[in-house]
Amino acid sequence: MPGAGGAATRNVALYPWFKAAQSLLFWQATWFLYFQQALTPAQAILLYAVYDLSATLLEVPSGVMSDRLGRRVTLIVSALSMALGAALLGWGGGFAVFMAGQALLGAGIAFVSGTDSSFLYESLQAAGEEASVEAEELRAWRFSFGALLVSAPLGGLAALWSLALPFWLSAAAAGIGLVLALRFTDPPQLRSDAVLPQTQWGALRAAFRDPVLIWLFALAALMYGYSHLPFIFGQPFIEGALARFDLSDDAPLVSGTITAIMMGVSLLASLAAPRLRARIGLAALLLLAFGMQIALISTLALTGSVLAILALTLRMVPDAFSRPFILAHIQPRLEGAGRATYLSIQSLVGRLLFAASLYLAAGGAQGADALAHDEIALILGAYALFGLGALVLLALTARRSGV
């Protein structure tokens, strides 16, 4: 149908802007300072747990909703949740309001997880352009990280006037995302082979019998945690490194600067990624990305030098080398009936594995007021050794799985 093809083309054109709007997180460098000012430090920490719990609990239900009710309505719910959540946090007024705001932000992340990539691929499929899925995933990646790059320093400047202002700016950006989502059109659920599973759970069973999808599932779940390790331990690492020069008070400024540089380096890496993928192949590129994550945390474990802070600027390069290509390789192998649910399960498993590992790692820091480098080195060293073993196992099984 010409109408469907035109709508699908519009979806593809609007999609990167939607991703950018949802990535304008002006609060990313100041959220803890704001919560700590309005509440107690313990409540501020608890609020992060509320956000993470909300995102985790809604991961799979949101995927089921997407596969059953449609991509457009799920993306609308995501944008609306993020806009309302950021507005509540900007409004403030008590711990209960902050909890509601954080829960809504977590819900917004859960509802977009898996649905966004599924929406893009199915729109490309409807437009007859599914072969360009890698290029479009990379394009969306660049828009997202460009938005993160811009919003981090601008949010910091806005916080000088009011710590609540970055949340209001993020609410406005999410509102723009909502307007874009309302302009989307659900792509048709195309199937090329009548013998493929026609139900949601049938499609999922077929996916988990596919050796390629199993290998990519394991890699993606592992890389989720290893991507977040520098995010969690990076700020205490920076503070400890600067303390040697009596500059620990500058840790927030340095952390924000490192974040901005990190996003810029990731954007540059995404430009080189297609050429590298063509030269060494998909499996080698993905293993290289995982190896880079392990090398980064090993560097932080081995030295507390200020120079090691520069290694943190490379944190998102492995994501640029892996995430768009994993999604692009997964999508054609999935059926629409279970596509978003599969991706939500993948995200859920990654979250749960990482949370369980952090629970074990927390035993090494019990009773400490602040993480010293010796404690960071012990925790990250254990992660590095486990990651190295996982990397070897994935390398040995890559060819057999058919990646």
> Quick one: pLDDT at residue 11?
95
CA dihedral angle for residue 325, residue 329, residue 335, residue 336, rounded to 10 degrees: 20
What is the topology classification, in CATH, of domain 2-186?
Growth Hormone; Chain: A; (1.20.1250)
> For the domain 207-401, what is the CATH code?
1.20.1250.20
Domain boundaries, the chain: 2-186, 207-401
The pTM (predicted TM-score) of the whole model is 0.77
User: What residues contact 103, with CB distance under 8 A and at least 6 apart?
Assistant: 50, 51, 54, 85
Q: Read off the amino acid at residue 365.
A: A
Q: Read off the amino acid at residue 6.
A: G
3-state secondary structure of 30: coil
Rounded Cα distance, 268 and 290, in Å: 18
Domains 2-186 and 207-401 share a fold: yes
Rounded Cα distance, 75 and 182, in Å: 9
> Quick one: pLDDT at residue 321?
93
Q: Mean pLDDT in each 10-residue stretch from start to end of the chain (403 residues)?
A: 73 96 87 75 72 86 87 96 96 89 94 92 91 90 89 81 91 97 84 45 80 94 88 59 58 64 86 92 96 91 71 86 91 78 87 79 51 70 93 94 84
Burial of 49 (0-12, 13-18, 19+ CB in 10 A): exposed
> Quick one: pLDDT at residue 231?
67
